[in-house]
Amino acid sequence: MSQSHNTVTLDFSSELKFTEFSVLVMQYLGNLLQIDDERFFQIELALREVINNAIIHGNHSDPNKRVKVIFSWNKEFLRIQIRDENNEDIDFDRITREAENQDILSPSGRGMIIMRSYMDSVTFESTGKGSVITMEKRL
């Protein structure tokens, strides 16, 4: 990031109750950044999907594994990075291709469709020590 930015980092155990906590932080940032209701809804839905996937699919709901959420922003963008502790090598390209062939109501791949539809930029990385999803919304 070339411009200065602000950052808030959350680090929590793989329990679904922390999805709501993350959304509360996002609500605060939405107010701070004066994000309109429609854009906020898009960001919130994508955030919920990614965090739930990190907890359920990435960390297999193991409360001993951690999820890290990093919110970074300035006047031009909001970036959200979600990291789990999944030690498997995930083929995000395959998952994305399969998701594109699914219905939005299908339980498989819905998060990929939502992220790509609602966020301006989404990247996926499988590090062998965890999966990292970075989403960005222009402000």
Nearest to 138 by CA among 51, 73, 48: 73
Per residue in 15-55, pLDDT (tens digit) is: 999 999 999 999 999 999 999 999 999 999 999 999 999 99
Task: For the chain, 139 residues long, give each residue's pLDDT as a single digit of tens.
Answer: 445 789 999 999 999 999 999 999 999 999 999 999 999 999 999 999 999 999 999 999 999 999 999 999 999 999 999 999 988 776 666 666 666 666 555 555 677 778 888 999 999 888 888 999 999 999 9
Which alpha helices (H) appear in the chain, and where do they start and end?
17-32, 37-53, 92-100, 110-118
Pairing of strands 66-73, 6-13: antiparallel
Residue with tokens 């402000």: 139
Domain carrying residue 72: 6-138
Q: Structurally, how many domains does the chain consist of?
A: 1
For residue 129, give the CATH number of its domain.
3.30.565.10
Written as one letter, the residue type at 24 is L
pTM of the model: 0.86
- For residue 1, is it within any domain? no
Report whether 78 contacts 105 (CB < 8 A): no
